[in-house]
Structures are given as C-alpha cells and as structure tokens.
Structure 1
Amino acid sequence: MIRAGRQHLVRTLADLAAQQGVGIDHYTRLKPYAAEGFPAPVSSEGSRTRLYDGKQVDAYLLGKPVPPLPGPEVEDDGDLLDRRECAALIGVAPNSWDVYKRDPALVEARIEAGGVEHWPRRAVKAFQAGRPGDAAQRTGRPKSTGDQVPRDQVHGLVAELLDADPTISAATVTERLGVHRNTGQDALTRLRADRIADHIAAHPTLTPAEAAAQLGYPAGQVRRATARAGTVLRARHIAPYLTDVAAALHRAGWTTEQAAPDVQFPGDDRVVAALVLDAGQAPVPALVWDERYGWRTASSRRHPITKGAVPPSEGGGVRYLTGGITPPPDDVVAALTQ
C-alpha cells in the first residue's frame, strides 16, 4: 500500500531506471531492485506493476539507512490501497473487487498512482459499511421496489455468497442482497451449473448429480442446476463448430466482423445459438442453430431467437436448412445461396 501522504513519492521501475540513467529493458535485466537491502515494493504481492517509495530508494542509493514505513498493524484512513488490498480489506476475491469498484462512490474516490488504480482506505471502509448484505437491518428487497443491487453486480455478489456457503438458498440471497427471489434463484442456478460443468470437465466420470454433491450443493436445491450443467457441457462441446460457421459466414462477406455466436439455454435444458448477418449483401438477417433441429434462417436481426426458442413454422423469412444438425460450415453458406 501507499502510506498516507506519500503518494508523491511513488516510483515505478521505469522511474528507477531513468534515475540510474539506463533504459527500462536494461534495468529489468540487471534487476538491481533484487539486491539485498533494496527497499521492498509498496505495491501488493503479485501486482503486475511494482511501485516503490522514492524516499526509501534514495536513501538506499546514497548508502544511508532506509527509513522504515509504518508496519501493517498501523492503519491510516489516508492509506492508498490497490485492488488486491481493497479486496483483502473487505474479505472478497480481487475479481469481486473489479465489480465493486464500479460503485459511483468508489469511482469518485479512485486515485491513480504509478499508473495503478488505488482507493483511500476510508473510501473502502465506507463502501464496506454500506455494502449490500452487511447491514444487520436488511431483510431483503423492500416491497414494491426493484432490485437493490445493479444487475451487473449480482453475479459477483452471489458468487461470493456461494463461495462462503455452498448450501446457500435463493431465499438467503434475497435477504442478504435485497434482490427479487427470481433474480437470486437465477444467479444461483447459473453459477452452480457452471461450477458443476467445470467439475465434470476436471472429473469426466462424474454425473452432474455426483459433481453437485462433491461441491457441497444440497440435492434438493440443484435440480435445475444439474440439468443446466449438462446443457453447458453440450454448449462447450459444440462451440468450436459454431465458431467455424461464424468464420465461414464472415469469409462470405455476410458479417462485418467475425462475432461470437449468441448462445442461449432456453429452459436450461437445450442449446440454441444465433448469428446475425449484418452486412448489406447478406442473404438473410440472421441464422439460428438449435441442437434439436439444426440451422434455420430468421427474419429478425434484433430477435432471431423466438420467445422460449419455440421453433417457428417455415415462411415469412424462416427456412430450415438441410444437412442435419451440424452440416459442414461451407455447406451452411452454400445452402443460403440456393
């Protein structure tokens, strides 16, 4: 961390190299900062950018005693913390902090030192005090109000709760975060399904139910998650094929860029994907792939997948392509020109 009142003393490796009159590449090859007695970085362990206290470095280079910094037990609200230190202070993973830092108060408090984002300790503590789920008086989402957590933060917050308690229920998520029960249930299902799929990928002999049990998920809470996990695994298996089709469509000049297919899991039990053909000369607005029926054209770029992924009847711009469930990518292109 950068101690209170010492931001102006922060130096990067590039600054230290310039101080010695050498280039950064030469400096990092020599690694003088690895010598015994050289001041330790003030950046957190594992940080990609090393930061040093300039007053300490100057003393070392002059052969003088290096002035000590306050020990870790001494805290000042003006200390500047990087993302790892902020995460540690509030007891979450750094990836969770990457979500939390979008909070308007934290955006305003952010300070850049040495090209690295930092936040004053006081701002992090204030955020923690008002963080959803920490206030004892919270009893869920107030009646007739929307979710109390921005939608883009729900996944990270629920992931944190699931990390702490694999048996957590949607009701507890609702109470802790102040979100609608459906929001909490959906986030839990998606997270558990992804983790079950990851566990099966690492242990292929397991069934979804066995993987869920090993992860500590209660059997009565994971019926949807285990079903979705199987769907996630099928989606991962088919992903290279869908990417190849997207590449073939791009080579044909029907997409302005090779975008990844929009993959959805309607009902959590089947895989459906959409590819929008946004180039002016494209023969159809979009293509939809369904693991049950294969490819079909769609009449809408905005909503190529129908509600519930119900297969529409042919006509009105909808045509089912022949060739089976996974025809070769070039055959898909050829079918669109017929």
Structure 2
Amino acid sequence: MIPHDRPVMAEADIAAEAGMELHTWRRRHGADFRSRVPVTNPGERLRLYDAAQARAYVAGQPIPPTPPAGEPHPDDLLSTEEVAAALSTDTSTVRAYASTGYLPQGVELHGRRFWPRRVVQERIDAGDQRHHPERTGAGRRSGDPRNQAPRGRHSSTEARVQEVAAALAQADSEGQDTITAADLAQRYDVSHRTGERLLAAAREHLRASDPAEA
C-alpha cells in the first residue's frame, strides 16, 4: 500500500537520486540501505520506501523515524495483491477485472498498477454486478459484453468457445465494439495466441449455428 500522505520511492528512484545505475547502486549500497530503511510494503515483490527516509540516506543525513501508521484513507493506493485480498480473488482476476471494466484501470506508479482504496470499496459495496449505469473505467458502455467478469480459468475449451460466441453475438446485436483476442487473453488468463484461437473457434461456432450459413 502507498499511504495517501506519504510519498514513496522504489530502488530505481533511489539509485537515480544517487546518480547511479540501479545495478551499481544495489551492489554498492543495497544491502546497507535495506538494513537501515524499512520497506513500506512488506511481502511484496516491488519494494517501496518512505521518500524522506530514502533521501536522507542518499544525502548521508540521519534517517528520520518511520511515520506512524495512520487510519485507512480513501486515497490510499492498494497494490494488485491487496485488491485481490479485498475482493477475495486472485491477482490475475484483478487484472482481468480492470481490462474488462468491472474495476477501473487504476493508476500506474513505479511500473506497477495501484487502485485507490475508495475505488475498491465502491466495488465491494456495489455487490456482484458486472457493469455500472455509467461508462466503465475502461471506457465501455453499460451492457458491453466485455464488461463481464472473467470465468474460472479451469472451464473447458468447449464451454469457453460457447461463452465467447454468445458474447460476440450480444456485441453484434447491441452494436458494441467486437471482442478482441487481447480481451480474451485477459478474461481467461491465457496467452494472446490462445485468445486468438478461442476467438476463431467462437466465430466458427456462430457460422455453424446460423441457418443462413447452412
């Protein structure tokens, strides 16, 4: 989490502040720095540090004490892992939610995506809905079949083909933008190539089931 009132820095930012390449800074200072400055987000792959403490270390000044943890704030930024825990799901599903518009896309910082706590709480308060009355965070209208939450990743290929075919038919009947292979890759947490295969199979399924094509 990135507290709303507490700027943070990643190690790449700290190396730049010191005027060094990241690998050089890590070799020369990484171990000593980590022993003296605590991370603000323990347990996560991207280590973030309090900016005031990091800059004090770089400047060779006394490191200020760690600010006390405050109460949860609506503008705190939650990581993908924290959002997944809040929504009782996994990280791949959170990314799929953001891709389909079921969850806003969030903000990108330090090469990672974060979501304001208030956005996540709004998603929880709204219940198990697949779209909102207004346009979604991904810029799609209410009712767009791409706003549907992803299915379980272990559903059979045949079931997925039928699901995609139904979504394609809905998009066509409602004048919505068509579904892409990239949408399917996110939705089912598969490769782009597998998304292309699913899309092709779904289109063939629609042609085979259309009497006009017989």
Same fold (TM over 0.5): yes
Alignment match, 1:191: 154
CA distance in 2 between partners of 1:260 and 1:84 (Å): 25
Confirm or deny that 1:130 pairs with 2:31.
no
Find the structure with the greater CA-based Rg.
1
Confirm or deny that 1:307 pairs with 2:208.
yes
CA distance in 1 between partners of 2:36 and 2:83 (Å): 26
Alpha-carbon offset, residue 128 of structure 1: 1.5
Alpha-carbon offset, residue 99 of structure 1: 1.9
Alpha-carbon offset, residue 81 of structure 1: 1.2
Confirm or deny that 1:2 pairs with 2:2.
yes
Identity %: 23
Alpha-carbon offset, residue 58 of structure 1: 2.8
Alpha-carbon offset, residue 5 of structure 1: 1.9
Contact 2:77-2:116 at 8 Å conserved across structures: yes
Alignment match, 2:172: none
Contact 2:80-2:94 at 8 Å conserved across structures: yes
Q: Provide the alpha-carbon RMSD of the alignment.
A: 4.3
Alpha-carbon offset, residue 261 of structure 1: 10
Alpha-carbon offset, residue 129 of structure 1: 0.9
Contact 2:96-2:149 at 8 Å conserved across structures: no
Q: Unaligned stretches of 5+ in structure 1?
A: 135-147, 160-189, 195-223, 226-258, 265-271, 275-301, 314-338
CA deviation vs aligned residue, 1:84-126 (integer Å, no higher than 9, x gap): 122222222111111222437723xx33333332221111111
CA distance in 2 between partners of 1:39 and 1:152 (Å): 44
CA distance in 1 between partners of 2:196 and 2:112 (Å): 34
Alpha-carbon spacing, 1:96–1:70, altered in 2? closer, same or farther (3 Å): farther
Q: Unaligned stretches of 5+ in structure 2?
A: 131-141, 160-192
1:116-265 matches, cutoff 5 A: 116-132=112-128, 151-152=145-146, 154=148, 156=150, 158-159=151-152, 191-193=154-156, 263=197
CA distance in 2 between partners of 1:125 and 1:151 (Å): 24
Alpha-carbon spacing, 1:131–1:261, altered in 2? closer, same or farther (3 Å): closer
Confirm or deny that 1:76 pairs with 2:73.
yes
CA distance in 1 between partners of 2:78 and 2:13 (Å): 20
Alpha-carbon spacing, 1:263–1:133, altered in 2? closer, same or farther (3 Å): closer
Task: Specify the code of the residue in structure 2 equivalent to 1:3.
Answer: P
Alpha-carbon spacing, 1:260–1:59, altered in 2? closer, same or farther (3 Å): closer
Alignment match, 2:110: 114
Alignment match, 2:51: 54
Task: Specify the code of the residue in structure 2 equivalent to 1:52.
Answer: Y
CA distance in 2 between partners of 1:155 and 1:67 (Å): 43
Q: In structure 2, the residue corresponding to 1:101 is in which secondary structure?
A: helix
Confirm or deny that 1:18 pairs with 2:12.
no
Corresponding residue to 2:85 among 78, 83, 88 = 88
Alignment match, 1:45: 43
Task: Specify the code of the residue in structure 2 equivalent to 1:19.
Answer: E
CA distance in 2 between partners of 1:68 and 1:15 (Å): 19
Q: In structure 1, the residue corresponding to 2:2 is in which secondary structure?
A: coil
Q: In structure 2, the residue corresponding to 1:112 is in which secondary structure?
A: strand
Q: What TM-score does the superposition give when structure 2 sets the normalisation length? A: 0.57
CA distance in 2 between partners of 1:14 and 1:43 (Å): 16
Alpha-carbon spacing, 1:116–1:261, altered in 2? closer, same or farther (3 Å): closer
Alpha-carbon offset, residue 307 of structure 1: 0.5
Q: In structure 2, the residue corresponding to 1:95 is in which secondary structure?
A: helix
Contact 2:15-2:25 at 8 Å conserved across structures: yes
Contact 1:99-1:153 at 8 Å conserved across structures: no
CA deviation vs aligned residue, 1:180-224 (integer Å, no higher than 9, x gap): xxxxxxxxxx83436xxxxxxxxxxxxxxxxxxxxxxxxxxxxx9
Task: Specify the code of the residue in structure 2 equivalent to 1:151.
Answer: P
Task: Specify the code of the residue in structure 2 equivalent to 1:4.
Answer: H
Q: What TM-score does the superposition give when structure 1 sets the normalisation length? A: 0.39
Alpha-carbon spacing, 1:86–1:44, altered in 2? closer, same or farther (3 Å): farther
Contact 1:14-1:24 at 8 Å conserved across structures: yes
